[in-house]
Amino acid sequence: MIERFDTGPRMSEMTIHHGVAYLAGQVPEDTSADIVGQTEQVLQAIDDLLRLAPTDKSHILRAEIFLADMADFAGMNQAWDKWVPEGATPARATVQAKLANPAWKIEIVVTAAVP
């Protein structure tokens, strides 16, 4: 069985299958924020979705981080390092990408175990 959350005509914000939660790319709502603020917004959105699964950030298996500009790498890591649980850091990739909305500085995709 596949569970779908916040499903619209184009995509679901999260799907769960066989104990694994797959989140759609999460982006900031307030694009006036700097990279730290945009990253914090995205991480909060991830927390909110994982809570619905129910799981949490300590069960994230993989994170894919897309930055519009690699110059924002340090600022993104500043927010990430405060958020990610010590001893439960996931596999992670960070790349520069042209994002769908030019005002977005970051998009994060995660996959998490649902215990």
- Residues 6+ positions from 38 with CB-CB distance below 8 Å: 28, 30, 31, 104, 105, 106
**pLDDT, position 62:** 98
- Over residues 43-76, the pLDDT tens digits come to 999 999 999 999 999 999 999 999 999 999 999 9
Q: Where are the domains of the chain?
A: 13-113
CATH code that applies to domain 13-113: 3.30.1330.40
Strand-pair partners of 16:
3, 21
- Over residues 3-58, the pLDDT tens digits come to 999 999 999 999 999 999 999 999 999 999 999 999 999 999 999 999 999 999 99
String of b and e for 42-70 (b: at least 16 CB within 10 Å)? bbebbeebbeebebebbbbeebbbbbbee
* Cβ pair 5, 15 in contact under 8 A: yes
**pLDDT, position 70:** 98
* Cβ pair 27, 72 in contact under 8 A: no
